[in-house]
Amino acid sequence: MEFKIAIIQYDIQWELIKENMKFLESLFNKIDSSIDLVILPEMFLTGFSMNVDRNSVELEGEEITWLKEQSQKKDVAILGSLAVKENGKVFNRALFIQPDGHIEQYNKRHLFRMGGEDNYYSKGIVRTVIVYKNIRILPQICYDLRFPVWSRNKNDYDLLIYMANWPASRQKVWDILLPARAIENQSYTIGVNRVGKGGGLDYVGGSKVIDFKGDFVCCLEDQSNIMEIVSIDIEKQDAFRKKFPAYLDSDTFSII
């Protein structure tokens, strides 16, 4: 089963929601109906901002309405994270928007305390697996990458996705941990990062798709705005897991 994905790595204009929407719409217009899923970076309309009063959106707001319209118009699912305000709290929330208007959600569990994220955002508590076109998808956000227990594959997902604003100063960690997650979970793993400058930090991208053996399907050019189309083959992954079912020997654990 082939699943076609568009990865968008770009320079998020700092806290300029309208400008980022305009830029993304120009890219969405280039997407055809053969694409199943578009993946955007973390906080794709603002950058990794702690200014939640200015930058948080609501599920019934115009930004989400716009995303639904883009998804429906192109008949493609869209995944990315935003600062979402709900019931007096703000979450760094991954939104999986489907063409029929249905939205699945995941709130970032591991908040980046070194950047003060835990002072402004509420912590997620639910690990979420999304099923779309018979593909089981586990969304994760940036700092989650450092915590392998949270992403451990219990043979309950097919595709692991990290949306990030991962700074250039720690790019080596990004480059090492993404293939590690793919290998240990025997899963296609995608990391989508931003480029440019934002909030005083530099970002060089390094977005990549890695297969279930740890081999690179594609690596996006650093420091470039780019949209890359890739296909993954879940049947090949299933065959490999059947031949080499390491997950059957994994340890059991509970998360507290």
Residues involved in catalysis: 42, 108, 142
| Residue 135 bridge partners (DSSP) | 132
Structure tokens at 57: 């959106």
DSSP 203: E
* 120 SS3 class: helix
Residues ≥6 apart with Cβ < 8 Å to 193: 9, 41, 164, 165, 166, 174, 203, 205, 206, 207
Q: Which burial class, exposed, middle or buried, applies to 232 when counting CB atoms under 10 A from its CB (0-12, 13-18, 19+)?
A: buried
